[in-house]
A and B are shown apart, each in its own frame.
Chain A
Amino acid sequence: MIFVIGGEYQGKLNYVLNLTKLKREDMVDGVCGSEKELEEKQIIYNFHLLIKRLLKKDENIEFVEGKIKDIIQKNPEVIIISNEIGYGVVPIDKFDRKYRELAGRISCELAKEAKEVHRVICGIGSIIKG
């Protein structure tokens, strides 16, 4: 698994497509992708929003972590693109706080497991692991 992170609108998807020569059709969007697509496509985009979607479905943290683990187990070579969040003031809303914290914790686990971690700023990626 390769983990690609960075702020919003930094050109992460284009960076991955250029690097891998994959196409948009090889990508599933975390916002709306089906379980099957998440387990089969080569790129998962908007991974942070997949975490949010799962957490909205069931606020149990173990449920979300379990689902993510399943997807990666079934799709071990996947490239995961995720926004780096958590660089702001603690949100007032309880769900937002929970989501922000969980997105951080899951991303830490992914970074540990990933063979490479790329961080993209202004379209430029640096490999921070691997």
Chain B
Amino acid sequence: MLMLVTGGSGSGKSEFAENIAVSCGSDNLIYIATMFPYDEEAFKKVERHKIMRKDKNFSTMECFTNLKKISLPKGTTVLLDCMSNLVANEMYQRDGAKELTFECVLDGVKSIKNEADNFIIVTNEIFSDGIEYDVETEKYLSNLGRINEAIGNIADKIVEVVYTIPIYQKGEKP
């Protein structure tokens, strides 16, 4: 099962995705953390998420770039949080995929989808503030938007979380 979870900032999408991952009932829960703790604020965000999932029995793997390098044992449920950080890392970090961000991220997603029983991806709705950004930021928005669309195409379920309330945009609500 591939599920894409989206929503605005502070909408409760991560917590929702964690609960979905736990409810899959797998013995092997893997959390792929993509946020690079580049400053104090990012570090605090990472800590907040660690506290939120501490009793949920995830084993955490950090992956800032090149999702494809991850290889998984059989029978896993994987939660990736979140796509917006992974895309930024691929575009801007030294060992990132740069111009090949779209292709590289999608290859990684497909490879995990093939190996895991359940794969839940958290992404971000950052496309509606009506501001025209500089070329670099627009390129980032375009990459993330296209990646969301491509994952949406192969996902079994797409859930938009609105202030903790899940709205199923694709697939049936369980």
Contact = CB atoms under 8 A, between A and B. Distances in A.
Interface string A99-130: 01111110110111000010100000000110
A88 B126 contact: yes
Contacts of B10: 86, 100-105, 107-108
Given A107-B163, A111-B164, A86 B133 contact: no
B71 interface: no
**Band of interface residues on A:** 20 to 34
A108 B8 contact: no
Given A100-B9, A108-B10, A88 B165 contact: no
Interface residues of B, number: 21
Nearest to A106: B10
B9 A104 contact: yes
A110 B165 CA distance: 11
A82 to B, nearest CB: 9
A31 interface: no
A89 B163 contact: no
B8 A89 contact: no
In the complex, the 7 A-B pairs of residues with the closest C-beta atoms, listed nearest first = A104-B10, A88-B129, A86-B8, A86-B9, A111-B163, A87-B128, A107-B163
A108 B163 contact: yes
Contacts of B8: 84-87, 104
Interface in A67-95: 84-90
